Amino acid sequence: MVIAIITLGTKLRIKQMNELKVRNKMHQYTISKGKMIGNFEGLYKDFKDPFLQTQKEKFETSKKIITNYCEMIKNKQKKTITTLEIGCGFGKVSKDLAKLKFKSFGTDKSNTAIIKGIAKFYQSKRNTRFFKYEIY
pLDDT tens readout for residues 50-90: 887 777 665 567 788 888 888 888 888 878 888 998 888 88
CA dihedral 65, 59, 46, 40 (to 10 degrees): 40
Do 30 and 58 fall within a single domain? no
- 116 and 69 part of one domain: yes
In a domain, 44, yes or no: no
130 within a domain of the structure (yes/no): yes
Asked whether residue 85 is domain-assigned, the answer is: yes
* pLDDT-based confidence at residue 13 (cuts at 50, 70, 90): low
Residue 45 domain-assigned?
Answer: no
Residue 78 belongs to domain spanning: 50-136
Per DSSP, helices labelled H in 28-86 are 40-46, 61-77
Give CA–CA dist 99/40, Å, rounded.
Answer: 27
User: pTM value?
Assistant: 0.70
Domain identity same for 17 and 57: no
Q: Report how many domains make up the chain.
A: 2
My answer on whether 126 and 92 are in the same domain is: yes
